Amino acid sequence: MNLLLKALIGALMVLLIGLLARTRNYYVAGLLPLFPTFALMAHYIVGSERGIADLKATIVFGMWAVVPYLAYLASLYWLVDRLRLLPALLVALCVWGITAAGAVLLWQRH
């Protein structure tokens, strides 16, 4: 049941993004993925299963996790003028992956 609820929340988010993208305020569709749906779930699970100290570490790492997202957005912004949409998205996704891997490696050294 818990997994089904998570899937329904994900589907609802996709539906809302699709609907918002068709409105006059289409740019709000870029804000919706940042709603902390999965962060709420992660924080609840870590906080209830591992304790407050691990939850606080997860929160701090989450703050650093914004860097890969910013790298994705910056690279996509630059790439959409230079490539077709799908290749631009794929390259930006690779930038996110490399930056996210770097964040994890740096965190593990911490």
User: pLDDT tens digits for 18-53?
Assistant: 999 999 999 999 888 888 878 888 999 999 999 999
Name the DSSP letter for residue 35.
S
- In the prediction, which pLDDT does 66 show? 93
Residue 40 lies inside a defined structural domain of this protein: no
The whole domain housing 109 covers 52-110
Closest to 66 measured CA to CA, from 88, 86, 21, 36: 36
- The rounded mean pLDDT for the chain is 93
Q: What total number of domains does the chain contain?
A: 1
Burial of 8 from C-beta contacts in 10 A (0-12 / 13-18 / 19+): exposed
Q: Is residue 6 over pLDDT 90?
A: no
Report the distance separating Cα 32 and Cα 35, nearest Å: 5
- pTM for the full predicted model: 0.80
Listed in sequence order, the residues at least 6 apart from 28 whose beta carbon sits closer than 8 Å to its beta carbon are 20
Residue 63 lies inside a defined structural domain of this protein: yes
User: pLDDT tens digits for 53-106?
Assistant: 999 999 999 999 999 999 999 999 999 999 999 999 999 999 999 999 999 999
Residue 26 lies inside a defined structural domain of this protein: no
Both tokens assigned to 53? 């100290």
